[in-house]
Amino acid sequence: MREQPDEVQRLVHLGEALRRAHLDLDGGQLRELSAQQHQVTRALARQAGQSAARAGQPVSDDTRQEVQDTLHAVLADADAARQWAKGRLTKPLSAPAGFPALSRQPAPPATVRRTEPADEVADRDAASARHREQQEERLEQARRQAADAEQHLHAREADLTAAEEKLSRAEEEQQQAEQRVDDLSRQLKDAESAKQRAREAARRARDLTRAADRAAREARRRAHDTAAHADHLAEQLPHTS
């Protein structure tokens, strides 16, 4: 793999994009990335086969399958991708459960051509059947997860609708309460003004009352003095017989 560092990085970055698309349940993005996956894994698998052939180690169908499974695991798991990119893998890997298997292109043929024995053909067919079964199981699991996510989405949307309705009612009640506060504030202001006017009127009335009382006392005093003076004058007049 170190002979093609660009392809290694492409596969690592492709795995990151595929994992994001899987978490987002983005079918369109998964289909688009699947085409890139075919190109990168094909190139890497071909490189592995050629390297093994040059070393005098023909690649069997099982080995090709292990290469495909390892590449799939690298796409599905970030830790596996880091170990693989650093060349630290000690055994073949398998993708974790729950990550949808992508359709794969046929593995590139080994550089050394030979006639396959019947038992190898049978083993290859059995491996292909197992692989197909695993793909179907993963697809079914992905569909169940998508259905659960859709159901969860509907439930949360219903919660959101109920919350929005409650918020609307609360805001309406708040507006009504604020209107009542405004009305009461105006009424209180008017009452305060009326109270002040009444206080001023009472003060003026008290002033008038005190003035009237002083005038009445002065009038009584004058009347008393005038009557006394009249009586005095009457006493001084000569009496007629």
pLDDT tens digit string along 177-187? Answer: 999 999 999 99
188-203: per-residue pLDDT in tens? 999 999 999 999 999 9
Predicted TM-score (pTM) of this structure: 0.35
Res 136: pLDDT: 85
Q: Which residue has the higher pLDDT, 105 or 178?
A: 178
Query: Residue 142: which of 13, 227, 24 has the closest Cα?
Result: 24
Res 51: pLDDT: 74
Q: What is the mean pLDDT of residues 198-215?
A: 93
